[in-house]
Structure 1
Amino acid sequence: MQDLAINGGPRAIESTLPSFRDASGRTFGQEELDALTEVIKSGRLSFLTGPKTSEFERAFAEKYGVKHAVAVANGTAALHTAVIYLNPEPGDEIILSPVTDVGTVIPVIAQLAIPVFADVDPVTQNIDPVSIERNITPRTRAILVTHVYGHPADMDAIMAIARKHNLVVIEDCAQAHLAYYKDKLCGTFGDIACFSFQQSKHMTTGDGGMVISNEDERFGRGLRHCSDKGWPRERGGRDHLFLAPNYHMTELQAAVGLEQLKKLEQFVDARVASADRLTELLAGVDVQPVLPLEGTVGVYFFYSFRLDPSKLSVPVTQVMTALTAEGIDGFIGYPGQIPLYKYPVVRDHKTFGSSGWPFTLEAARKIDYSSVLCPEAERACQETICMWWTDRLEERHLQQIAAAIHKVISTYSKSAGSA
């Protein structure tokens, strides 16, 4: 143990790893600079007068082979746009995973729908189709599927359940750019799919998002209107049809997005190659990498691995502290060490003033979010190490990451202590 950095030993990672937080872990070039300069010089920074947003929408729709793409301000806005399009009644239910970002549940609550949490598969940590079906009630309107860590959920099973129960499927692809389930892109299975271009994503516009679909106005609402104040601008005048926010993307974001989209395959291929290499380097280390389902292509938003607490001489929190000291950029559990339903916003109904809406609505099913609703998710949040990943990692970085993990795990392994 004296060799661990936490105890004064040398760090396994000699210098700071490339990080999504700055240029060390993001790939920008003269193309993005030129695009931004073009927009600034034009003086047209809004989609109302500039061409970049509509160009970005067309390019993204073409990439995914869909009819409609609507650019928005961020990934949460994309999901909110999708739920507004669904137009649920207050107290209707939307099933989702508790292993995802809080931005996935905010749109559900904002539309006065009830989030119902299905458990996750213990291996992939994606939403479990069996648990989805167990949670369906007469009030269920949709299944919101997050492809967590960039790995595809079991879409064949999920779509079969949705068809059986006549449910809408919203795909949250914020972490899954160009991920494939079998031979089809994630985001092209459900009725609507949502993407994020936040700083840490595979391609970035700083913030930004996209909603894609092959349908429009099924629920009496134009998809584009759902992010534009319910405003049918195409017919002229001011005629706001329903309550909706203003989630416009700027021309500056769109200009960067167009150039980033051209490089997306490059970014994804680099992430996958470095993740596959780390998995090779971790062979023999007593960790369980979170890998994509067989027959799918995961794209590694995080590189995550599971620990077995029964095999460790210290808590997982101590392991993470030691890994951080060695230079690992990561944390325990996603979205944290508790699942999403135990966040105060959900568990304690911290929503609209003191009303507790939508949870306290008479029509709403009452769920005790303080209980262990999803035991597999609760264990995953306590036992999973998530490392930030980028397309800029090199072999030397991967060697050092593997050495750090091996060093810490071998030190804290119970078998090492008894040897």
Structure 2
Amino acid sequence: MAVATELAINGGPRVRTEGFPGRGHFGIEEKRAVDVLFDAAIQTGNAIGYGGEQEDAYCREFADMLGGGFADGVSSGTASVYVALRSLDLEPFTEVVVSPITDPGGMMPITMLNCIPVPADCAPGSFNIGPEQVEAAITPYTSAILVAHIGGVAADIEGIMAVAKKHGLPVVEDCSQAHYAKINDRLVGTFGDVAAFSTMFGKHHCTGGQGGIVFTKNEKIYQKIRWASDRGKPFGLPAGSTNCLATLNYNMDEIAAAIGRVQLSKLPQIVARRREIVSKLNQSFGRMKSVIIPEELPGAESSYWWQRLGLDTSKLLCSKDEFCRALGAEGIPVVARYAALPHTYDWFKNRRVFGSSGYPWSSPDYKGDAKKEFPCPNAHAALEDYFLLSINEGWGEKEIADTVEAFMKVESAYLK
């Protein structure tokens, strides 16, 4: 492929002169599903509610997709993490080992339970934690492990489950960025005791603007999920029982569930297309001199919320940031650095959870090291070494070709 050498960032022509397409994952099917609810509400005079036929069906279909079990729709991905943790009856002022690279909503719920987040480091060269790093973070005060599968790439959940079993610890899988990702032909979310999923509009699978769903194979945990997600209502308890748990209302409504049912039918095709796009991109990236394609775990099938790429800057006359700026000038949607280390944010450093109390860290009932720091060198190195290419299932062959052309153009200009 002949590639122009004058970079757009230096005044040359852009490779991509039009914007990239949207996902196109919403269609007439979702509109019809919601119209049915509005038509019924208008006809009967009864407002659209929650906990009805649509949510029951959606949760059943979601659980069936994961091979059977129990699911409960909630209001957000953050709520799903909270409810999943709450279902485990963790004692306050105990520690929860957690992924360091994650959304704040994947760490903050730990503190809402008066538990202490303990970030394990990532596995080398990965955005995900690994078994060795989890083992190193466990203390006598650890009560659970919260594993995030970041960017659609499965963590070594089999190895982490072996560590958890050794120490007798429950595991929550945060699958908010990894719908339909697999490892050894098994879907993420089916390994741990309970799994949390975000279904906000940008995820592979969505229920509208915001949403979430919690999954488990354990019926007793499911009962506690139902209590935790709806003000402790006595689900599964004898008639006459009253609210059994103090919590909040995290219910999903019928509109979100109706959208989710349609979206669920599209999920396999959405992920298949993302895999196809990445495979085609990698055929070209693999022939480049400076672009590094990260290795995946054996047996892993990623669902690619975005594509993570590395750069061998020893072969270039520029930094990673400069390379990404040049790609951006060519019209390519890249992010130089994934800013997602919640334990380095002000809320964590200043212990701002419950007023100025410093709780849960400052409680006399916490027996661990309240001042412990978490350098996580592998996580920091991964964020420095890799950048993100934003892809979606709406890409066609032209988007793939333009992206490859821009990468080759920028590399050609900066090669030593």
Partners of 2:16 and 2:331 within 8 A in 1: yes
Partners of 1:151 and 1:291 within 8 A in 2: no
Q: In structure 2, what is the Cα distance between the partners aligned to 1:291 and 1:73?
A: 35
Q: In structure 2, what is the Cα distance between the partners aligned to 1:66 and 1:407?
A: 49
Q: In structure 1, what is the Cα distance between the partners aligned to 2:120 and 2:40?
A: 49
Structure 1 match to 2:273:
270
Structure 2 match to 1:315:
319
Matched residue pairs, number?
404
Partners of 1:102 and 1:335 within 8 A in 2: no
CA offset digits 1:330-384 (Å, max 9, x no partner): 3133344xx3321112122122211121122223323557x56210100111222
User: Are residues 77 and 118 of structure 1, via their aligned partners in 2, closer, same or farther at CA, if it must alter by over 3 Å?
Assistant: same
Q: In structure 2, what is the Cα distance between the partners aligned to 1:181 and 1:322?
A: 35
Q: In structure 2, what is the Cα distance between the partners aligned to 1:292 and 1:210?
A: 27
Question: Which of 351, 358, 361 is the equivalent residue of 2:360?
Answer: 358
Q: Work out whether 1:383 is the aligned partner of 2:381.
A: no
Question: Which of 392, 395, 410 is the equivalent residue of 1:393?
Answer: 395
Task: Look up the equivalent residue of 2:61 and give its one-letter code.
Answer: A
Tell me by how many angstroms 1:41 deviates.
1.5
Q: Work out whether 1:410 is the aligned partner of 2:408.
A: no
Give 1:81-92 correspondences, 5 Å limit: 81-92=83-94
Q: In structure 2, what is the Cα distance between the partners aligned to 1:363 and 1:142?
A: 18
Secondary structure in 2 matching 1:245: coil
Question: Which of 27, 30, 49 is the equivalent residue of 1:46?
Answer: 49
For structure 2, the 5+ residue unaligned runs are 42-46
CA offset digits 1:55-85 (Å, max 9, x no partner): 1001111111232100011111111101111
Structure 2 match to 1:208:
211
User: What RMSD, in angstroms, separates the aligned Cα atoms of the two structures?
Assistant: 2.1
User: Are residues 316 and 187 of structure 1, via their aligned partners in 2, closer, same or farther at CA, if it must alter by over 3 Å?
Assistant: same
Structure 2 match to 1:21:
none
Give 1:223-302 correspondences, 5 Å limit: 223-232=225-234, 239-285=242-288, 286-302=290-306
For structure 1, the 5+ residue unaligned runs are 19-23
Secondary structure in 1 matching 2:132: helix
Task: Look up the equivalent residue of 1:77 and give its one-letter code.
Answer: A
Partners of 2:5 and 2:409 within 8 A in 1: no
Q: In structure 1, what is the Cα distance between the partners aligned to 2:358 and 2:406?
A: 46
Partners of 2:70 and 2:215 within 8 A in 1: yes
User: Are residues 122 and 14 of structure 1, via their aligned partners in 2, closer, same or farther at CA, if it must alter by over 3 Å?
Assistant: farther
Structure 1 match to 2:224:
222
Structure 2 match to 1:326:
330
Tell me by how many angstroms 1:315 deviates.
3.2
Tell me by how many angstroms 1:95 deviates.
0.8
Structure 2 match to 1:27:
25
Task: Look up the equivalent residue of 1:46 and give its one-letter code.
Answer: G
Secondary structure in 2 matching 1:161: helix
Tell me by how many angstroms 1:311 deviates.
4.1
Question: Which of 191, 195, 198 is the equivalent residue of 1:189?
Answer: 191
Task: Look up the equivalent residue of 1:266 and give its one-letter code.
Answer: Q
Partners of 1:101 and 1:335 within 8 A in 2: no
Tell me by how many angstroms 1:229 deviates.
0.7
Structure 2 match to 1:58:
60
